[in-house]
Structure 1
Amino acid sequence: MYQIFIVFLVLFLTTTPVMADEPCQEDGDCVVVGEWDISVAFGYGNKTNPITDYDDIPLYAIPSIAYYGESWFFDNFNFGYTLTEQENFTINLATSYSSERAFFYRWDPSNIFLPQSANVDSHTVLPPIGGFGIQEASQPLVLNELESRNFTVYGGVELFWYGKFGVLQLAAAHDLLNVHNGQEVNISWNYSLAVTDWRFDLTLKSEWKSSEVIDYYFGLRASESAYWSEEYQPSSDWSNSIELTTRYSISTSWDLLLAARYTQLADEIIDSPIIDEDYSSSYFVGAAYRF
């Protein structure tokens, strides 16, 4: 399942590193230190919702706001501090917000500021898993109205390693607001290619979520279903994603943008009685303007 990331790691550790600014392949790709970088994309897109009886999420505008100082940075309402920046790697302390809550609330930040590789300023799919585990039990699925799933902020450490074959990112974070006291680990690889006025970004990503995270967002409270609150007791597990962003530069300020993402949900999430799909996907087509 994770052999592909082992291959990535071997490639990075056995090849000569490149300079830290290698991902910035053309003018306008990098955020200038000490200056605000603000942009917005207008168009149409959609994010599928695997939660039973919850609508898909339409996407019409994608803003991006970033500021990078010598050490501190702000990126779409996440904050960070660079501990060290070397020729071939960078280590940061950084915050991030929960993505699972976005399935329950239309205006969650994760539905406004898309992940980096699908972002205006961006720098494997596994086979579908058959069946829905616990939902195949004889007990009928009868649920009351779902209670609130609260927003939280994660904080942790992230490593970026710059190699000939792209950028490898390793990140680990913990719930800072004590909403569920869970942890997340992310492993991703990004490859950028610039061809004249075209820019292509491909990202493969694997996300580990602890049992506390999965149970808080996809488990059931006793008020929602007395039976399933006892029956569904998830463990930690991994989800896997592939993302592709294509940009065509019209001018120094305008780009045409096409972004798509597919996520194969973890088995433990699929087993939740409130889940009726084993994946989530999103796409966006439009034009991006950088101020």
Structure 2
Amino acid sequence: MPYLFAFALLLSLNTSTALANNAHCESDNSCIEVERWDIGIALGYGSKTNPLKDYDDIPIYLVPTIAYYGDRWFFDNGDLGYTLTEGESFTINLIGTFSHDRAFFYRWDPSNLFSIQNNSFEQSIGNETSTGMSKNTPEINTMEKLCRKFTYLGGAEAFLYTAFGIVKTSVTHDLFNVHNGTEAQLKWRYNIPLNSWNFEFAAVLDWKSKRVVDYYYGIRPSESIYWSEKYQPKSALNQGLEFTGQYVLTDNWNLLFAARYTKIADEIVASPLLEKDHTTTYFLGAAYRF
């Protein structure tokens, strides 16, 4: 059965795929069979914009996909969940998922699997010419290693199924006490199946608490006394638009195009670590399902 490949690793999204025996599936292409591993790989070319100063964009050549849905438990590209309750028009899950902000800082973060040419943050930041700081503005201390640790988020998500698409809400909190912050998401997704084609559009709001913004984009006193006092992080709301197009060639092969644009909140853009107010991601290639 052909299906729409999940792009959680590619687009750093937090979405759960519908089940094949679930009435909420909008088409066969967006479903995964219950109690069956779905494993696939996409090959092609794409790129993910890195908004941090002096960082190269992240090229994308290969995207693995792995998912499994049982009667209650499920695993979907790093997301681990348990369905608490579901009905004809809704589903409520407990969910665990990766923190995606760290992906901009470290090449080998799970969200950047198979990405290359991402410069070391510790070696790149603090250069007067490239960061645009004036000669009279104190630099960030690159002698002090800038560390943004890995963490995993846990919480709850709810799906509302309507004639006008699927609405998802989620609230997650840091499980490893790295930053003790909270994130929330509101996402609307609409799917249009058309013969061998499948098109999906989405709009996303991602809210991050002050602690999340401070941990990833704030400056420690050991890094720069000046910037730790000058930049005062606040909670932030990112806005995104997404598009995925699929053409089914066979039961195993699909042609794929995916794109995402995220407008970064002004509260984050104000950080001296950033040089862009947005990120974009795109990928064009072919996907094979084993």
Equivalence for 1:5: none
Q: 1:147 to 1:247 in 2, by over 3 A?
A: same
Which residue of structure 2 aligns with residue 163 of structure 1? Answer: 162
Q: CA deviation at 1:259?
A: 0.5
Match for 2:74: what amino acid? F
Are residue 268 (structure 1) and residue 270 (structure 2) matched?
no
What is the SS of the residue equivalent to 2:169?
strand
Which amino acid is the alignment partner of residue 140 of structure 1?
Answer: T
Change (3 A) 1:221 1:107: same
Question: Residues 185 and 38 from structure 1, CA distance in 2 versus in 1: closer, same or farther, beyond 3 angstroms?
Answer: same
2:137 maps to 1:140:
yes
Q: Given the two structures, how large is their TM-score scaled by the length of structure 1?
A: 0.83
Percent identical = 50
Say if 1:138 and 1:230 are closer, same or farther in 2 by CA, change over 3 A.
farther
Secondary structure class of the residue paired with 1:110 = helix
Which structure's relative contact order is higher, taking Cα pairs within 8 Å and 6+ residues apart?
A: 1
Matched, 1:22 2:38: no
Q: Could you list the structure 1 runs, at least 4 aligned residues long, displaced by more than 3 angstroms after superposition.
A: 135-139
Change (3 A) 1:212 1:139: farther
Aligned to 2:105: 104
| Structure 2 residue 290 is matched with structure 1 residue 288 | no
TM alignment of 1:5-154, pairs within 5 A: 21-26=23-28, 28-112=29-113, 140=137, 142-145=139-142, 147-154=146-153
Task: Tell me the equivalent position of 2:182.
Answer: 183
Equivalent residue letter for 2:251 = T
SS of 1:229's partner is: helix
Q: Is the 8 A contact 2:46 2:284 kept in 1?
A: yes
Q: Following TM superposition, by how much is the alpha carbon of 1:137 offset from its aligned partner in structure 2, in angstroms? A: 9.7
1:24-62 deviations in Å (ceiling 9; x for gaps): 413x43111111011110011100111001111111111
SS state of the match for residue 158, structure 2?
A: strand
Contact kept, 8 Å, 1:23 with 1:192, in 2: the verdict is no
Q: Secondary structure at the match of 2:267?
A: helix
How much does 1:284 deviate?
Answer: 0.5
Q: Within 5 A, what are the aligned runs for 1:206-285?
A: 206-285=205-284
Aligned CA-pair RMSD: 2.0
CA contact 1:183–1:210 (8 Å) conserved in 2: yes
- Aligned-partner Cα distance in 1 for 2:265–2:38: 35
How many equivalent pairs are there?
252
Deviation of 1:143 after TM superposition, in Å, equals 1.8
The amino acid across from 1:100 in the alignment is D
Give the superposition deviation at 1:140.
2.0
**2-structure distance, mates of 1:157, 1:200:** 27
CA–CA distance in structure 2, aligned partners of residues 151 and 218 of structure 1? 14
Structure 2 residue matching 1:200: 3-state secondary structure:
strand
Shift in alpha-carbon separation, 1:174–1:139, aligned structure 2, 3 A = farther
SS at match of 2:34: coil
Instruction: Find the residue that maps to 2:137 and give its secondary structure.
Output: coil
Q: Can you list the C-alpha shifts for 1:73-97, whole angstroms capped at 9, x where unaligned?
A: 1111221100001110000000011
Q: Tell me how far apart the structure 1 counterparts of residues 61 and 23 of structure 2 sit (CA, whole Å).
A: 31
2: CA distance, partners of 1:50 / 1:288: 28
- 1:205 — aligned with what? 204
Deviation at 1:221, TM superposition (A): 1.3
Where do 5+ consecutive residues of structure 1 fail to align? 1-18, 115-134
| Distance across 2 between alignment mates of 1:272 and 1:21 | 45
